[in-house]
Amino acid sequence: MPQFSKDDVKFLAEEKLYTGFFSMKKYRYQHRRYQGDWSPVVEREIFERGNAVGVLLFDKEKDHFVLVEQCRPGALPGAGSPWLLEIVAGMVEKGEAPEEVAFREAAEEAGCDIEKLIPMPGYWVSPGGTTEYVDLFLGLVDSDSVAEFAGLETEHEDIKVLVLERDALIESLQQGHINNAMAIIAVQWFLMNEKRLEL
């Protein structure tokens, strides 16, 4: 456990810098230091994206995994394809519980219903620069019921739904074809902890 808690931070000010699809703020704060004193005033620009939910969809009867593929603007500057192999995911809307997002996104992005939802550990995406936190889940589904293509027209989504056998999933991970943090974390955690889960 960390030595310090939220009580060891003096939050001094918050300034709104930009508001659009996402937003930027500037935080001013001080925090206790390991030497026993307080830090100088720290100023940081913070990307306010909101929190997200990711769901690794798994058909335990067939040992198949359901992933999605879509074009991602953040990957456009890279040398590889910006079409990424991902788990189902979405942003948490105001008043929504993470579990509600999981069920909604499975229907919207993969065209399937989750039969059982199992929590996995969540994580901070990049806490040095953004407040985004991701809740992860394992969703048990019938892989025969998924759509071939999915997504909401209103969100300009054009999603291809893929059903992968276990060996193909592991090979995709090992070969770097799964190259985004959310999917890597979810798949690796599941493979490491599968035997102790009550599926």
Helices (H), the chain: 98-110, 166-174, 181-193
Question: Residue 147 has what pLDDT?
Answer: 76
Residue 56: Cβ within 10 Å count: 24
Question: Residue 199 has what pLDDT?
Answer: 84
CA pair distance 188, 178, nearest whole angstrom: 11
Residue 170: Cβ within 10 Å count: 15
Question: Residue 154 has what pLDDT?
Answer: 66
182 CB-near residues (< 8 Å, 6+ apart): 52, 54, 86, 87, 89, 134, 136
CA pair distance 96, 182, nearest whole angstrom: 20
Question: Residue 1 has what pLDDT?
Answer: 86
- Name the residues annotated as catalytic: 155
Topology of domain 52-196 in CATH is Nucleoside Triphosphate Pyrophosphohydrolase (3.90.79)
The DSSP 8-state label assigned to residue 73 in this structure reads: G
Is the whole-model pTM more than 0.85? yes
User: HSE of 18 in the Cβ direction (CA atoms, 13 Å)?
Assistant: 10
Q: At what angle do helices 166-174 and 181-193 cross, to 10 degrees?
A: 130
Q: Identify which of 133, 128, 163 has the alpha carbon closest to the alpha carbon of residue 54.
A: 133
- Where do the domains of the chain lie? 6-48, 52-196
Q: Identify which of 190, 198, 191 has the alpha carbon closest to the alpha carbon of residue 54.
A: 190
pLDDT mean values, one per 10 residues, the chain (199 residues)? 94 94 94 96 94 97 96 90 95 95 94 95 95 97 84 73 96 95 97 92
Residue 96: Cβ within 10 Å count: 14
CA-only gyration radius of the chain, Å? 19
Whether 40 and 30 have beta carbons less than 8 Å apart is answered as yes
